Structure 1
Amino acid sequence: MDTFWDFVKSPFAWGLAIGLAIWFFTWKASIAAKRNLKKENKRLQAEMRDLEMHLNTQLKINASGNNSIQEKVDNLKEQNETLRVNLAALQNKPGRSELRALHTMETAVRLMREQAPGFASAWEVALRQAENEYDEAAGGLRKLVRKVIALPGPGESNEKDDKHSDD
């Protein structure tokens, strides 16, 4: 037993004991850190699953919204094409060119009466001006204004004009 106590009192034994104590506490700390890292890893994986599920749902919502918008755009393109074809067909109907010429002549005659009655050159100027006016009115802002205000066309009269002519 004396040899045991001699060994315990030796500097080697003290160094071995201190080294083993340091190793034990380091080992214990590493096990605790490893356990904490596993818990943190599980928590982060759960959060990642939740985020993936949320992202998946968000992508599905965006995809369905994009699909519905694309369907609406395609539908509107088809309607636009149909309306364009119908407009072209209506403008090419028989009698349309005659109606245009009649409207142009009516406007030209009205302008000739106002500007210079009896002069052929003034008639030609008025005729060209009436054609330009009709072309502007056939497609553009004037057409919209005419529809909104609902002005009478050539040959028609306002109710106000009829009432004043009776007086």
Structure 2
Amino acid sequence: MQESNWFFELLGNTFVRGLLLGLLAALVVGLRGYLRGRELKHELRKLREHLHTKLEIDSEENERRKQELLTIKQERDNLRNSVQLLQQKPGRHEIRQYYVYQKAVDIMFEKAPGFAPAWQITVKEAEAEMERAERGLIPFIKRMVPSSPARQIEEYEKLRKKEIEQHGNA
């Protein structure tokens, strides 16, 4: 009984009581802190998994958008090239007009005996004029500003008369 007396006597001491109550409070606070830490670690792991999933989804979406952007850029470049090619190709009307002129030239070769040499000289002069026109600024402006059909006919008649005079004098 002495031993238990000793225990009760120790518990009767106010310092020991305060110490035990402090240790008990520290144990409760420590236990709650430990449990809260576990809970926070679990929540942190869950948030990391969520963030990882979100980043994967965003990454896939960004890759899809990049791929779509590349596809659209490639389509744009293809369309730009197609437009350039189509601008360089003559239309049906121009091709038909070319064939009409070619047929008219062939008929003139057959019907007018002096037409062939005059035509060839005229073609050479026209080619030389086009070469000169392709080199300078003023001819460039002339090409950009189309002349009227009446003015073109007048120029053609002047060139034709000049050639006839040159052939007549030669």
Residues 97-148 of structure 1: CA distance to partner in whole angstroms, max 9, x if unpaired?
xxxxxxxxxxxxxxxxxxxxxxxxxxxxxxxxx949xxxxxxxxxxxxxxxx
Instruction: Give the letter aligned to residue 79 of structure 1.
Output: S
Matched, 1:8 2:11: yes
| RMSD (CA atoms) | 2.8
* Structure 1 residue 77: Cα displacement: 1.0
Choose which of 52, 58, 62 in structure 1 pairs with 2:65.
Answer: 62
TM-score (norm 2): 0.49
Q: Which runs of 5+ in 2 are unaligned?
A: 102-146, 150-170
Between the aligned partners of 1:4 and 1:39, the Cα distance in structure 2 is 43
* Structure 1 residue 87: Cα displacement: 4.8
Choose which of 32, 50, 53 in structure 2 pairs with 1:47.
Answer: 50
Task: Summarize the alignment of residues 1-167 of structure 1 with structure 2, pairs less than 5 Å apart.
Answer: 1=3, 2-87=5-90, 131=148
Between the aligned partners of 1:87 and 1:65, the Cα distance in structure 2 is 34
Q: Which runs of 4+ in 1 moved over 3 A?
A: 1-4
Q: Which runs of 5+ in 1 are unaligned?
A: 96-129, 133-167
* Structure 1 residue 3: Cα displacement: 4.0
Between the aligned partners of 2:6 and 2:49, the Cα distance in structure 1 is 59
* Structure 1 residue 52: Cα displacement: 1.4
Residues 34-60 of structure 1: CA distance to partner in whole angstroms, max 9, x if unpaired?
110111011111111211111121112
* Structure 1 residue 5: Cα displacement: 2.6
Residues 68-89 of structure 1: CA distance to partner in whole angstroms, max 9, x if unpaired?
101110001111221223359x
Between the aligned partners of 1:41 and 1:22, the Cα distance in structure 2 is 28
Q: Highest Rg: 1 or 2?
A: 2
* Structure 1 residue 26: Cα displacement: 0.4
Instruction: Give the letter aligned to residue 21 of structure 1.
Output: L
Instruction: Give the letter aligned to residue 24 of structure 2.
Output: A
1:157 aligned partner: none
TM-score (norm 1): 0.50
